[in-house]
């Protein structure tokens, strides 16, 4: 072989191998790791996630989901159900909040069946594809295959029919106020759905448009009580729907492009034209897959355990769903939104469907790490909420809802602000808003908004047990943490007097500490502790938990809590006790065993209730007391025993991404115990290697050498080539990119990161 030929062949092979590797790199389809059915094997009595398979884009305005339950049931899709009633547009953040602005499409053949019980078709998970970007199911009763692919505000359906003289598509606009209008000459159905469960102004409508690619041979509607209106084209009542019919040949595909708007029918049409237009079903599906692969691919996991990789990406998918975009793009290309607070159409961002009591803990810290630009937009939406309603949201769906407790908009805003993720124009508005929460009792639209009992809190330093304000101890602890975050923002803004006040109030947690039990306890207005006191009693002074769970909710000052308990030995003994005691409980406050209690009871982890949020950070607290190996052991146990990529794969409610965000962070090897600080507390990395592709373009690698099922203890750590002997990572070190390498072992290294200066942030240590 001549020299030139050798050079040519060598060059060709190099280029070929390079191209092949590049192609392989691009061929990674992260959506294929995602099981959207994870968590769908749930019920009122027991949650394995309380999820539904959301066919959507990240933070999309509209989701779609197959509907197995009757209209209005919060558990819209249950894995063990065997019939599908339709595929519905949904905005449901939680079965406990239920849905709003929902309507559905269903295909039927043969005898016309349109009532939801009658039209329901048998289906099997064996003939079902459930991915973020694509849902496909065989409707066995009708020999029809139904598919849907999403955009942010629209969706493309494809129904594949059999040979039939009578084929139908049924559009159910649901009850609580609806309208349909069939326009045969345009192959179109328009209408609106007004169903909701609160949190909407009087003029609330979800306007929809559905365009078909086949002529209608018949048109029917129905009115209340399923009263069929044959050959009609219009209906408006409490509950209406539309039916269009035609003949089909075997394998004939009928496409339906659907979009909606909270602003108008014209805006719904604009959403449809701009997001789908002339695109085919396959094009919409592939675009949706590309969006998901981009977002999921921001974190690259390398590990031999494919099941754990599937769990990771299935969880990450959930983190990227909420809060949903509640704004639209008008004809001028401007961002506008229908305000769920005052009913006006206004400029700018709006996001909704989020419970901050859940998501302040890990979801929003994840956004600050991986999605800083998105979080700026969410903060702008919070500023708009304040301007439009006079208050910050604590649970919005779509407007203020009277759910849960706390003042957790403060840590969300402050953490974003301190990390540079608030637009300059919104800073003063948001600071004014969190200050109002801490000062004003009157005029709150719901008791969950602002701070219930704030006058008592500001006078006594706690919300009393005996003044008819439920969950008072939990409120006190959460307000004190919110005060710390408020102080941090005030200090950064140069407002020294305000900062001084709230730093002082951040110590209010001490007022509820009972030294006789080393636990937090409700306190009466006269300063006496509540009697009787049972630390196993759920609810009452606490929220969806007991004193054993809420005692650790001193995010801002774990070192101060250690001192109150008498030192590290007593502190770690109390932590150990939660895991080692039997799963006893007192459910008398509720009068029955709520699902959160049952989920704690059945997993054989004592009184550790990972299925609910208050205690999820607690495992990391061993780090503060000089026993990080216990954190490592417990973290790995929860990661591998309580999470699976299966229908029963969550240990409790998957609330707006929070339980998933705990998994995502913890499997990477660290967790934001104290949002508002600049640290992540180290646990036990689950994967051999994880690479964070940050929005700045920087990469941060987490490597766990000799990692295995048995090797979950950290023997040593190296950060960017230097020994790392601290139980936390700094936010800035992660954001500027680099590498942390952990050497893993099957035995605990009780010398690693146990020095006084190795522990994470606490307010007491700072001062």
The first and second tokens of residue 412, run together, are: 């969300």
What would the CATH number be for the domain defined by 305-322+354-662? 1.20.1610.10
The answer to whether 450 and 407 are in contact (CB under 8 A) is yes
The answer to whether 414 and 489 are in contact (CB under 8 A) is yes
CA distance 107 to 167: 8
C-alpha separations of 354 from 257, 357, 397, 403 in Å: 28, 9, 7, 11
C-alpha separations of 241 from 88, 174, 290 in Å: 13, 7, 34
- SS3 for 356-404, per residue? HHHHCCCHHHHHHHHCHHHHHHHHHHHHHHHHHHCCCCCEECCCECCCC
The answer to whether 48 and 73 are in contact (CB under 8 A) is no
Query: 335-338 and 395-396: which strand pairing?
Result: unpaired
Counted residue by residue, the chain has a size of 767
Which strands form 728-730's sheet, in the order they lie side by side? Answer: 670-671, 679-682, 728-730
Q: Which of 401-419 are b and which e, b meaning 16 or more Cβ less than 10 Å from the residue's Cβ?
A: bebbbbbbbbbbbbbbbbb
* pLDDT value, residue 91: 98
The answer to whether 86 and 170 are in contact (CB under 8 A) is yes
* pLDDT value, residue 28: 84
- How many Cβ atoms sit within 10 Å of the Cβ of residue 516? 8
User: Among candidates 489, 504, 415, which has minimal Cα distance to 458?
Assistant: 504
Give the domain ranges of the chain.
30-297, 305-322+354-662
- SS3 for 315-338, per residue? HHHHHCCCCEECCEECCCCCEEEE
End-to-end CA distance of the chain: 76
Residues facing residue 744 across a β-bridge: 714
CA distance 470 to 483: 20
C-alpha separations of 682 from 117, 618, 631, 663, 671 in Å: 51, 13, 8, 13, 7
Quote the distance between the C-alpha of residue 501 and its chain's center.
33
State the pTM of this model: 0.96
What would the CATH number be for the domain defined by 30-297? 2.70.98.10
* pLDDT value, residue 478: 98
Q: Is the peptide bond before 717 cis (omega within 30 degrees of 0)?
A: no
| 110 burial via Cβ count (<10 Å: 0-12, 13-18, 19+) | middle
The values of phi and psi at residue 6, to 5°, are: -60, -45
The answer to whether 599 and 42 are in contact (CB under 8 A) is no
Lookup result for tokens 């705990």: 662
CA distance 491 to 484: 11
Three-class SS state of 155: strand
Three-class SS state of 226: helix
The values of phi and psi at residue 658, to 5°, are: -70, -50
Q: Which residues of the chain have pLDDT under 70?
A: 1-27, 767
The first and second tokens of residue 677, run together, are: 């600080």
User: Among candidates 489, 605, 493, 595, which has minimal Cα distance to 538?
Assistant: 595
Three-class SS state of 405: coil
């Amino acid at each position: 072989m001549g020299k030139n030929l050798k050079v040519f062949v060598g060059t060709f092979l190099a280029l070929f191998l390079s191209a092949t590797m590049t192609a392989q790199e691009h061929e990674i389809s992260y959506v294929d790791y995602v099981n959207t059915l994870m968590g769908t094997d749930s019920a009122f009595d027991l949650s394995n996630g309380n999820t539904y398979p959301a066919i959507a884009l990240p933070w999309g305005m509209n989701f779609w989901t197959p509907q197995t339950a009757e209209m209005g049931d919060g558990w819209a899709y249950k894995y063990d159900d065997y019939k599908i009633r339709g595929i519905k547009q949904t905005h449901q953040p939680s079965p406990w909040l239920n849905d709003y602005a929902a309507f559905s499409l269903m295909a039927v053949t043969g005898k016309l069946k349109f009532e939801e019980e009658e039209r329901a078709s048998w289906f099997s998970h064996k003939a079902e594809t459930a991915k973020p970007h694509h849902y496909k199911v065989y409707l066995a009763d009708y020999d029809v295959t139904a598919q849907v692919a999403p955009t942010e505000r629209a969706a493309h359906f494809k129904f594949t029919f059999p040979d039939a003289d009578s084929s139908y598509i049924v559009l159910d606009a649901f009850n609580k106020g609806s309208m349909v209008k069939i326009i045969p000459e345009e192959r179109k159905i328009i209408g609106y759905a007004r169903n909701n469960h609160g949190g909407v102004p009087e003029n609330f409508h979800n306007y929809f448009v559905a365009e078909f690619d086949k002529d209608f041979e018949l048109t029917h509607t129905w009115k209340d009580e399923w009263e069929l209106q044959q050959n009609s084209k219009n209906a408006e009542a409490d509950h209406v729907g539309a039916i269009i019919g035609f003949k089909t040949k075997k394998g004939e595909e009928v496409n339906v492009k659907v979009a909606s708007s909270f602003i108008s029918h014209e805006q719904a049409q604009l959403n449809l034209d701009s997001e789908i237009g002339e695109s085919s079903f396959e094009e919409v599906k592939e675009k949706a897959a590309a969006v998901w692969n981009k977002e999921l691919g921001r974190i690259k996991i390398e590990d031999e355990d494919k099941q754990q990789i599937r769990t990771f990406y299935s969880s990450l998918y959930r983190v990227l769903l909420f809060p949903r975009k509640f704004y639209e793009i008008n004809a001028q290309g401007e961002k506008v939104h229908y305000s769920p607070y005052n009913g006006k159409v206004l400029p700018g961002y709006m996001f909704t469907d989020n419970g901050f009591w859940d998501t302040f803990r890990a979801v929003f810290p994840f956004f600050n790490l991986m999605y800083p630009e998105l979080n700026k937009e969410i903060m702008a939406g919070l500023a708009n909420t304040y301007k439009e309603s006079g208050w910050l949201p604590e649970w919005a769906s779509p407007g203020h809802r009277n759910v849960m407790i706390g003042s957790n908009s403060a840590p969300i805003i402050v953490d974003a602000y301190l990390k540079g993720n608030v637009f300059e124009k919104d800073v003063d508005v948001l600071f004014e808003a969190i200050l109002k929460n801490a000062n004003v009792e009157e005029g709150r639209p719901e008791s969950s908004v602002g701070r219930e009992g704030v006058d008592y809190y500001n006078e006594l330093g706690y919300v009393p047990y005996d003044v008819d304000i439920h969950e008072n101890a939990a409120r006190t602890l959460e307000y004190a943490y919110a005060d710390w975050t408020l102080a941090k923002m005030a200090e950064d803004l140069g407002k020294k007097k305000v900062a001084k006040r709230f730093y002082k109030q951040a110590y209010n947690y001490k007022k509820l500490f009972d030294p006789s039990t080393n636990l937090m306890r409700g306190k009466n207005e006269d300063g006496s502790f509540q009697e009787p006191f049972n630390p196993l009693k759920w609810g009452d002074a606490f929220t969806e938990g007991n004193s054993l769970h809420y005692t650790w909710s001193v995010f801002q000052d774990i070192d101060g809590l250690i001192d109150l308990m008498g030192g590290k030995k007593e502190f770690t003994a109390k932590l150990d006790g939660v895991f080692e005691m039997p799963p006893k409980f007192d459910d008398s406050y509720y009068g029955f065993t709520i699902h959160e209690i049952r989920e704690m009871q059945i997993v054989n982890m004592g009184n550790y209730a990972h299925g609910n949020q208050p205690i999820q950070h607690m495992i990391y607290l061993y780090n503060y007391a000089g026993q990080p190996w216990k954190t490592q052991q417990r973290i790995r146990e929860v990661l591998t025993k309580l999470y699976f990529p299966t229908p029963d794969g969550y240990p409790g409610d998957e609330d707006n991404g929070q339980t998933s965000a705990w998994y995502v962070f913890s499997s990477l090897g660290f967790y934001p115990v104290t949002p508002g600080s600049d640290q992540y507390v180290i646990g036990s990395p689950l994967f051999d290697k994880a690479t964070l592709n940050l929005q700045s373009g920087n990469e941060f690698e987490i490597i766990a050498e000799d990692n295995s099922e048995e090797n979950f203890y950290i023997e040593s750590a190296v950060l960017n080539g230097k020994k790392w002997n601290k139980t936390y990572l700094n936010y800035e070190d992660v954001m500027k990119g680099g590498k942390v390498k952990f050497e893993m072992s099957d035995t605990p290294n009780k010398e690693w990161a146990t020095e006084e200066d190795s522990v994470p942030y606490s307010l007491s240590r700072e001062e």
